[in-house]
Amino acid sequence: MVQEADYPASGRVFILKNVHVFDGVRFTECRSVVINGDKIGDNPEGASETIDCNGHFLIPGLIDAHVHLHHEGHLQSLASHGVTTALDMAMWPAEKMNALRERPGLPDIRSAGLPVTASGSIHSCMLPLPEEALLSGPEQAEPFVQKRIAEGSDYIKLISDVPGPSQETLNAVSAAAHRNQKMVVAHASSFTPFNMALEADVDIITHAPRDRPVSSETAQRMVDKNTISVPTLTMMKAVSTRPPLISALGMMISKPSLFMAILRAKRNGQGEQTYENARDSVTAMYRAGVPILAGTDCHDEPNSFFDVKHGEALHQELELLVEAGLPILNALRAATVLPAEYFKLLDRGVIAEGKRADLVLLRDDPTKDIRATRSIERIWCGGIEYKRTG
């Protein structure tokens, strides 16, 4: 459980001294950081405590750019691994989404709310989606977007898949969102849906194709269109592992429509579904100059085929991004300054005066080994220290 300080974050001033600070580009020489309430301050006057960090390493709170949240326990798991901002990619009803916001001492969240798909898609068979999420034509795009905005969605999520929404519907949803000043995030885990999302002018494509790597030409189109990638390599690796035969048989019996939708999707693919295709896609996109953000698609729930745990998975994601060719410092940027910049969360992602006091103190130097992001000593969410247990 989160343990709040004996006094509220507002008004409390304390100092972290003798610490290397990740400034968004590199680690500085040892210096001090002032925390004033829930923000980074500049004036140590009135500090109630000075914490000697013993030459350790301070990074901004990590940002997971693709999560699925269902309850406060997920926020707890994220916080315990240094994730202080979570960008949810599908949550409904709106009351559930908004109830998880603004929990003092826990990760701050944003959410897409209800996503767009179509009847007969994998997601329509897999999830208990309400009818309003199943769009059958472009004329439904504007009302859908307007309702999501009224409910409090921070961006619009559409699921590009075959079978799934038509290209015209994807285009209409993206255009409606942009008319209403909302970013568009598209799910696309196969090559054809990936290019459909790109054709729809979405802002961010989450996942990476597993049936065929992103080509250099497609990567250049992404650069030309200012399209951002959240490849979720952790999930791409998990789904590339065949589920146990008993699970597949259970799906055939309990969810035959889902089983058939998966078969249809495979028939529409362009090759064998492998993790290596997703990894090579990231390599191609990074080399072309596509911004890469760290996201995991974590949704550890009972009876899920894929065990991608909240919080822990982000450290796995950073390791996989480095294996795919990102330099370590760029992987750190992918989980801090870059998601803050591209999701327009301009009050976080860097350790600077006036920014949110979302901080993670590491014992080891992550520039020598990205696995050092796991060497967490202390965590602060909005200036409130999160006390890890176990």
The sign of the CA dihedral 376, 382, 383, 387 is: negative
Q: Six-digit token pair at 90?
A: 């599908």
Three-class SS of residue 232? Answer: coil
Q: Six-digit token pair at 289?
A: 């100059």
> Side by side, which strands form the sheet with 83-88?
62-67, 83-88, 108-111
Res 299: pLDDT = 84
Q: Would you say the CATH fold of 62-342 matches that of 13-59+349-386?
A: no
Q: Six-digit token pair at 11?
A: 């008004």
| pLDDT tens-digit map of 131-146 | 999 999 999 999 999 9
Write the burial class of residue 264 (CB in 10 Å: 0-12 exposed, 13-18 middle, 19+ buried).
middle
Res 363: pLDDT = 98
The overall longest dimension of the chain from CA atoms, in Å, is 67
- pLDDT-flagged residues of the chain (< 50): 1-7, 244-254, 256, 258-263, 265
The sign of the CA dihedral 178, 299, 211, 237 is: positive
Q: How are beta strands 31-36 and 204-206 bridged, if at all? A: unpaired
Which own/partner contact pairs does 86-91 have at CB distance under 8 Å and 24+ positions apart? 86/110, 87/63, 87/111, 87/295, 87/339, 87/343, 88/112, 89/115, 89/157, 89/185, 89/187, 89/206, 89/297, 90/114, 90/115, 90/127, 90/157
* Domain locations in the chain as residue ranges: 13-59+349-386, 62-342
Closest by CA position to 300, among listed 311, 316, 284, 289 = 311
Q: Kindly report the pTM of this predicted structure.
A: 0.92
CA dihedral defined by 370, 371, 372, 374, rounded to 10 degrees? 130
Res 258: pLDDT = 47
| pLDDT tens-digit map of 239-284 | 887 654 444 444 444 454 544 444 454 555 567 899 999 999 999 9
Res 139: pLDDT = 98
Res 11: pLDDT = 73
Res 248: pLDDT = 46
Cα 232 to chain center, whole Å? 8
CATH class of 62-342: alpha beta
Closest by CA position to 185, among listed 220, 138, 153 = 153
Res 9: pLDDT = 56
**The CATH number fitting domain 13-59+349-386, selected from 3.30.420.40, 3.40.190.10, 2.30.40.10, 2.40.50.500:** 2.30.40.10
**C-alpha angle 372-374-375 in degrees, rounded to nearest 5:** 70
CB neighbour list of residue 191: distance below 8 Å, 6 or more residues apart: 209, 211, 212, 214, 269, 270
| pLDDT tens-digit map of 13-58 | 999 999 999 999 999 999 999 999 999 999 999 899 999 999 999 9
DSSP state of 79: H
